[in-house]
Amino acid sequence: MNLDASGKQATGSQGFDYLIVGAGFAGSVLAERLADAGKRVLIVDRRPHIGGNAYDCYDDAGVLIHPYGPHIFHTNSKDVFDYLSRFTEWRPYEHRVLASVDGQRLPIPINLDTVNRLYGLNLTAFEVESFFESVAEKVEQVRTSEDVVVSKVGRDLYNKFFRGYTRKQWGLDPSELDASVTARVPTRTNRDDRYFADTYQAMPKHGYTRLFQNLLAHPNIKVMLGTDYREIVDFIPHGHLIYTGPVDAFFDHCYGKLPYRSLEFRHETHDVEQLFPVGTVNFPNDYAYTRVSEFKHITGQRHHATSVVYEYPRAEGDPYYPVPRPENAELYKKYEALAQARADVTFVGRLATYRYYNMDQVVAQALATFRKLQARMASAPLDSGVSEEELTASR
């Protein structure tokens, strides 16, 4: 991947088999797989760097940071982990999060220690299960994020740990959001204080940007940065288009904009070795920000200073989180129908399929999409991606 001083790579006159829009995980994995299969690939991104939101860099103090907020890699998929291991070494890392509640910093997800410390109890793992049962509210049919939590741990823990955080993050009460939002966070009866329980938990040893550089190092891949694909799509000869950007933008918002939540990041560097005992501290009930993350926990870097990032949810800005409500799903279905009708374009990734995927799920989706492209290139029109069932099967 050779870039000139402007961050752009000349494409030559031969043209490309594939034009890929977006140099995040979805686009970069597909670029590598297609290039390895002998295809010529041009990958274009409007940002001045590769890696999408997972891009990392060194700040002015020399601390490795994630400009777009902390990205913690975890997966249960051996295939995904083995694939990425071709392009990076790993540093074992298990993420831990504390929530600032009632003047204490308590483990989240809620576990045995959370309950005992919050209420001044001395319950065992067996007793805490009965405690949850005693405070849980009966919900006939779990439909919303509020239903998920109160049916498991009751109203008080819901109010202390979930309601305020969710209202800040989404700008909506949990009672207005799909159950999937809070269903992602487990409740534990033991003392396991890891945020994730996946089989593989590690961080790229030399950072995400190095991983992406290795992914895109194939001589069949050319990279063009700081460029909107619409500026070049009609002028550079290419075959199939792979699009990883917002699906509504591709179709010029013809049905209206798909709702997203955005984030504003405030980065700070402090001349101390460490500010917090864990990688992230959540603030569900205080302040305008939702959480603060300290990068040296996550990256393992040794440095005399430390850098942190505060996350402020916003209604406007770069799209980060699809808003999971029934009316939004219905709107997406209209765009999905347009996408499925485009045999000349493959839509893949979080923004193109209007779903909240973890990084490993995006990699799995990209690998599954490559297999479909490879299988159908010669004999059938290309479709617009992979189904939810195929993505789940690849996990």
pLDDT surpassing 50 at residue 11: no
Give the model's pLDDT for residue 180. 86
Mean pLDDT of 224-248: 96
Query: How many percent of the chain have pLDDT more than 90?
Result: 88
Q: Give the separation between CA 294 and CA 93, rounded to whole angstroms.
A: 14
Give the model's pLDDT for residue 7. 38
**pLDDT band per the 50, 70, 90 thresholds, residue 389:** very low
Over the chain, what is the mean pLDDT? 92
Choose between 321 and 6: higher pLDDT: 321
In this structure, of 139-143, 153-157, 163-167, 279-283, the range with the lowest mean pLDDT score is: 139-143
Give the model's pLDDT for residue 378. 61
Give the model's pLDDT for residue 13. 47
pLDDT surpassing 90 at residue 392: no
Give the model's pLDDT for residue 376. 76
Mean pLDDT of 122-134: 96
**pLDDT band per the 50, 70, 90 thresholds, residue 145:** very high
pLDDT surpassing 50 at residue 394: no
Choose between 324 and 163: higher pLDDT: 163
Cβ pair 124, 116 in contact under 8 A:
no
Q: Write out pLDDT tens, residues 263-298.
A: 999 999 999 999 999 999 999 999 999 999 999 999
- List CB contacts of 252: < 8 A, sequence separation 6 or more: none
Kindly provide the residue ranges of all beta strands, DSSP E only, lying in 182-326, ordered along the sequence: 200-204, 221-225, 238-243, 260-270, 280-282, 291-294, 306-314, 321-322
Torsion of CA 120, 125, 127, 131, to 10 degrees: 70
Query: How many percent of the chain have pLDDT more than 70?
Result: 92
Give the model's pLDDT for residue 183. 82
Q: Give the separation between CA 232 and CA 132, rounded to whole angstroms.
A: 58
Residue 195 token pair: 């945020």
pTM: 0.90
Q: Give the separation between CA 361 and CA 364, rounded to whole angstroms.
A: 5
Q: Write out pLDDT tens, residues 328-386.
A: 999 999 999 999 999 999 999 999 999 999 999 999 999 999 999 998 766 654 443 44
Cβ pair 357, 365 in contact under 8 A:
yes
Give the model's pLDDT for residue 126. 93
Give Cα separations from 371 to 62, 125, 383 (angstroms): 40, 45, 12
Q: Write out pLDDT tens, residues 91-125.
A: 999 999 999 999 999 999 999 999 999 999 999 99
Mean pLDDT of 149-161: 96
pLDDT surpassing 90 at residue 208: yes
In this structure, of 4-8, 99-103, 158-162, 290-294, the range with the lowest mean pLDDT score is: 4-8
Q: Give the separation between CA 19 and CA 234, rounded to whole angstroms.
A: 11
What is the total residue count of the chain? 395
Mean pLDDT of 199-225: 98
Give the model's pLDDT for residue 299. 98
Q: Delineate the domains of the chain, giving CATH numbers in brackets.
A: 16-50+216-255+323-393 (3.40.50.720), 110-183 (no CATH)
**pLDDT band per the 50, 70, 90 thresholds, residue 5:** very low
In this structure, of 73-82, 172-181, 192-201, the range with the lowest mean pLDDT score is: 172-181
Cis peptide before 326 (omega within 30 of 0): no
